[in-house]
A and B are shown apart, each in its own frame.
Chain A
Amino acid sequence: MSPAMNKRSQQIPRLGKALLWLSLDDEEYDQAVGDFEERFRRQAAEEGPAKAHGGFWAMLARSLPLFMWDSLYWRGMMMKNNLKMAWRVIQRQKLYSFLNILGLGVSLACLLVILVHVKGELSYEASFPKSDRIYRVRTDSQFGSTTRQWAASAPAMGPEIEKAFPEVESAARLVAVGPRVIRHIPSQGPPRMFTEDRMFLADEAFPAMFDLDYVKGGPGSSLRDPHSVVMTESFARKYFGGEDPIGKTLIVEDFKDQPLRVAGVVRDLHGRSHLKIDALVSMPTFSAWAGFDILSHRTLKAAYTFVLLRAGQRPETFEAKAGAFMKAYHAAQPTRVESIRLQPIRSIHLHSKLEGEAGANGDIIYVIVFSGAALLILLIAVVNFINLATAQSFKRVKEMGVRKVIGARRGQLIRQYLGEAGLLTALSAVLAVVLLTFAIPFYNRMTGQAMSLGAFLTAGGAAGLLGLLILLTFLAGLYPAFFTTAFRPAGMLKSARTPGSAAALLRKGLVVFQFVVSIFLVFGTITMAGQLRFFRRADLGFEKRNVIAVDLYGDLSEKMAAGAGALKAEIERYSGVTGVALTSQLFGTRFSNERLTPVGTPDKNVLPMLRFLRVDEGFIRTAGLTIVQGRGFEAGPDRKPAYIISESTAAIMGFEQPLGLECLSDVHDGQAPIIGVIKDFHFASLHSPIEPLVLEFSPGNAGYLLVRVQEGRVPEVLEYLKRKVSEVSPDHLFSYSLVDEVFDRNYRSEDQSYALFKVFAGLALFVACLGLFGLSVFAAERRVKEIGIRKALGASAGSVCLLLSGTFLRGVILANVIALPLAFLAMRKWLTNFAYHTGIPAGTFIASAALAVLFAALTVGYQALRSARQNPVDSLRYE
């Protein structure tokens, strides 16, 4: 037999050995290889090497599954053991566990709320199956030096796009109806009457494009004929109760002679969308209401145009041809500068802030900031975990030493540590869920959303949470596990010192990090509060408080116009009322976009866009505006059309001597003179610069009656107005708003952000202080004897206090030095979002620094004072 052959019959194959090694522990591996090899040799000697190989592999194949199953079984037993030990550790170290569970639980709850919030923000339009192919056509118009970016486009645009672009499968227009009183008169019983502001005029193609789910009627023809309406189930229930609504009629106030016939009912739209739709009115109704063929209007930005691209088509192909299309579209007006682009419908909610949006949209910036802040707070809690674990590892050094001496391997100790971390994380998750039940109502109140605990109970949510917990366990447990188990047994048993100055340095660094984040958030919150205060209190150039705006429509607006304002005059005489005026739109909303054309201008397409407001003679006085030139509108029987312009209108139009200039507006043909100039004032939110404004004397276009009331008499005057209106027009649904509330609604998004941010800043500081408290307690415990000796030698309580808290406070001060400049830069950037904003006063720096230092000092000082006041006899006897 050759030596090679000999070797081949002596040893089991190397691959087999490797497989055994993989599935067995050290000693069992030794035993198994021995047994396998003994059998192998015997068989090789008796029956030859070939047989022996066959026998070996057969035996291995039968054994391996059993080995693996067995090792899983024993791992499970070990895990149970580890968990039991971990539970004992948690019980023994009550403070440590409490601080960790509280910190992690609070920040986990916070993160979960934000995750669901973000998921909601990102899920807009997702419930429409074709949403990835639906785009909105946006229009950019250039007027002289002004640009307008519209969310809407002209009614004629949709059908022409559909014809001109083969990429477009269908186009559908949507026109907001605006708040209207809708009435249903049943065959018996009182009429049902509600104000609806979620109604739209829609093209026939709309239901198919958005896959509306018809319960009654069909998608095919329900929106073809004028005066037909399709509604959601809950809308139908509101007016018709349990009756079948098909064929029944609804009456729209202002168009009483044109009742709407119900042609279909669709399921309620539950998914989030920037379009809040309760009912759709057929598009031809639009022209019937307008009294002319408004649907072929080529410039009026009245309709949202949605296009459905064919599968596989890119918006870029569309946009490449859009220039040529627009040239052809405006062939009759070659000087008109306009371009169109496509917005993916899914990006509208977070990325679009154009003129004439269907509602207030969200902002991607806040989504990012909130997620970031929530993650940072969680990180602060993880840092607590690491810091507390390494800081008190000296307590466990002996335990680890003993375990090592009696034969624990490092892997086992690491597993034990991770088991502890895992158990703490799991307990904090339980706390987080408990906290969520409190946090969710708070969140809902703040954001107007309807989040429920159920949102977390999905399979994906559970899996995600589990994954997060495992990640947290490793993040928080891995470093302490490696750190504490790294020491040699001899050293571990001997010493009672905290091992490793590297860990102490890391700990200090992490504390600085925690406070950098906290101070940053506090600074941000204070700045936001300042800006919001500014929003509310800034001098707008008119007085927004104590003004009631009564909605005028139907009967009431006719009565208001009739009798040369007799009703108005009567209201003005009521005690407590100091001014009454008519206006077409309310402050704080976007006014109409039009041009003012001086008589004799050759091409009005070069003129800038101005804001128009149609008012009566009482407006300037009631709003409290200042006339700088000329005069206001005048009452009296011979009221003539006239304009009053603002100073910035005079500037942008280049009028040197505006008074007496005859002008035309876009909607009225008759010319009228400019009779006065008023000082600029903030009629829109402070987000954007003051725009040029034109007031046109036109009480017939009034949409609201403004009533200025003496301070404190708003409720009383409201009662009077309600009574008066029901006297004049008994059938009328009285609706009103307060001008300052309408105006401040523009700051809702900032209000919500501020409310959330305040909570974040508070939580960050709280969790950071939890960690600091733990660290100071452990530091004091470790230095108990040192303090005793110092005191015995005559140190005062104050100096001991300073000694104990000094290290930590130095860290917090360093954090201030890092955080304040960063926060300053970030918040200065944020403030530039607003055309009008406050500065960042020195007080903000002082306040955020002081807040952080104060909280840190209180946290650390409590423990320091306690140790400093201890009788040295007790601490020195302590062994």
Chain B
Amino acid sequence: MNMLSRSEEIVLLAVWKLRDNAYGVPVRDQVSKDTRQEWSFGAVYKPLKQLLHKGFVEKTASEPFAERGGRSKYMYTLTPAGRTALREVRKIHRALWTEECEAAFK
């Protein structure tokens, strides 16, 4: 099966959180906020492209925006497969982090 990599998981969660506003700039801001690290655009595009290839997100171009120099926003939305993948990851996390682990690494 196509397991999510760490960066894919982080980006995919950010896309879900942003709902209708998930394009490059906010996605980068979101993951930077979530991970408390400064992400570059390159670091965001790479997992996004993989996610697209694996079919976990869809990409659509919006109307052009003036603030982008007349360019479209490329919007990402979660697909049902993407939701399943996130659910899988969550399950794996649960299984990995037993109560004992939780207590030890508090």
Contact = CB atoms under 8 A, between A and B. Distances in A.
Contacts of B24: 31-32, 34-35, 38
B40 interface: yes
B46 interface: yes
A67 B42 contact: yes
B76 to A, nearest CB: 10
Which of A27, A28, A35, A67 has most chain B Cβ within 10 Å?
A35
A66 B40 contact: yes
Interface stretch (A57-65, A245-253, A588-596, A686-694): A57-65
A11 B70 CA distance: 11
Nearest to A77: B53
A33 to B, nearest CB: 6
Contacts of B74: 27, 30-31, 34
A33 B71 contact: yes
Contacts, number: 68
A37 B45 contact: no
A36 B41 contact: yes
Q: Is the interface of A mostly helix, strand, loop or mixed?
A: helix
A481 B42 CA distance: 34
Interface in A858-876: none
Contacts of A70: 42, 45-46, 49
A224 interface: no
A37 B43 contact: no
Nearest to B40: A62
A37 B41 contact: no
B93 interface: no
A63 B43 contact: yes
A339 interface: no
Contact of B69 (A28, A31, A33, A65): A33
A65 B23 CA distance: 21
Contacts of B41: 32, 35-36, 59, 63
B83 interface: no
Contacts of A27: 74
Contact of B73 (A11, A34, A64): A34
B49 A63 contact: no
A136 B68 CA distance: 79
B69 A66 contact: no
A173 interface: no
B67 interface: yes
B84 interface: no
Contacts of B71: 30-31, 33-34, 37
Contacts of A65: 42
B69 to A, nearest CB: 5
A837 interface: no
B25 interface: yes
15 contacts: A11-B69, A30-B71, A31-B74, A32-B24, A34-B69, A35-B24, A37-B69, A37-B71, A38-B25, A38-B68, A39-B28, A59-B41, A62-B40, A65-B42, A70-B49
Q: Report, nearest first, the 4 A-B pairs whose CB atoms are least far apart.
A: A63-B42, A66-B42, A35-B24, A62-B40
Interface of B: 23-25, 28, 40-43, 45-46, 49, 65, 67-69, 71-74
